[in-house]
């Protein structure tokens, strides 16, 4: 028994719409950074090549609600296609490493930079935070961003697998 052509076409179209909807939710219009530039053209830490096995923070934009909450738009660059693990979260911390908030990532995002957002409450008196990426296989590593909350200026640093401690001197001026 053959399936009428009209039914097959509708099934195929419905499947395509479903797949495209899923892909559209993870699409990013961020350009692929070169090894010494972030997505907005600012240099990475010291112009160092990024290790794409690590979850690298390559751009951070913040927006304050004026009442202590900040929306963080964080762009990660990681080779999610190259290994079993993928970038599974990014988080915002105080300089001493105390976590203030986390954005969990539920699936791989290919080998292109992608941006995800989260609104995080920042305690009064905190003027500088660290945004770190994390991946399932390596944990922390790669490039992190130190962000000045008053103006949103970011400075990029190599964090290493042990999330090296940062100080006020690491904050952008």
- Tokens describing residue 137: 């296989």
What are the pLDDT digits (tens) for 100-140? Answer: 999 988 766 667 788 999 999 999 999 999 999 888 777 78
pTM of the model: 0.69
Residue 54 CB contacts under 8 Å (≥ 6 apart), including other chains: 78, 133, 135, 138, 141, 142, 143
Residue 142 forms part of a structural domain: yes
Residue 37 forms part of a structural domain: no
Residue 145 forms part of a structural domain: yes
| Residue span of the structural domain in which 125 resides | 45-170
What are the pLDDT digits (tens) for 124-135? Answer: 999 999 999 888
Give the count of domains, the chain.
1
Residue 11 forms part of a structural domain: no
- Identify the CATH number of the domain in which residue 102 sits: 2.60.40.150
């Amino acid at each position: 028994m053959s399936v009428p052509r009209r039914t097959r076409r509708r099934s195929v179209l419905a499947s395509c719409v479903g797949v495209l909807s899923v892909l559209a939710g993870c699409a990013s219009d961020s350009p692929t950074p070169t090894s010494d530039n972030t997505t907005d053209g600012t240099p990475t830490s010291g112009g160092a090549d990024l290790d794409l096995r690590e979850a690298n923070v390559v751009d951070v934009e913040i927006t304050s609600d004026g009442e202590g909450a900040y929306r963080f738009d964080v762009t990660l660059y990681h080779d999610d296609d190259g290994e079993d693990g993928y970038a599974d979260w990014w988080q915002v911390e105080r300089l001493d490493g105390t976590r203030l908030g986390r954005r969990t990532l539920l699936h791989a995002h290919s080998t292109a930079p992608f941006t995800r957002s989260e609104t995080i409450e920042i305690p009064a008196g905190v003027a500088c935070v660290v945004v770190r990426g994390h991946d399932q296989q390596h944990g922390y590593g790669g490039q992190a961003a130190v962000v000045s909350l008053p103006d949103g200026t970011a400075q990029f640093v190599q964090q290493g697998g042990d999330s090296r401690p940062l100080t006020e001197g690491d904050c952008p001026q």
